[in-house]
Amino acid sequence: MRKLIKSLNSQSIITILILVVIILVSFQAVDRISNDKDDRSAAIEKVIIKAAVQCYALEGSYPPNIEYLTENYGIIIDESQYFYFYDTNGSNIAPNIEVIKR
């Protein structure tokens, strides 16, 4: 190990340190970007859930599908950027709603 350290010159050590810093910064950037996407998906989910609860309060049953919310409650969905999962278990049980970035 000592022979390896002695054989490395200062330029090699600086290069290795710079590479390590670049790798760490890259991982942080990727993590931040993925968290931003998760935040947007969660915000969209909350809006759809609120609309479903509003439908339940006004009509006495949860909407049968997400298209019902778009037609009657003004929800705008962007299927080119997100996957929307809307699973109903009955008209009086809250649906399982999930939004995932494509």
How does pLDDT run across 15-52, given as a tens digit for each residue? 888 888 888 888 787 777 666 557 788 899 999 999 99
Q: Which of 93, 75, 92 is nearest to 84 (CA)?
A: 75
User: Can you give the pLDDT at residue 8?
Assistant: 64
Q: What is the pTM of this model?
A: 0.63
- 3-state percent helix, strand, coil for the chain, nearest multiple of 5: 60, 10, 25
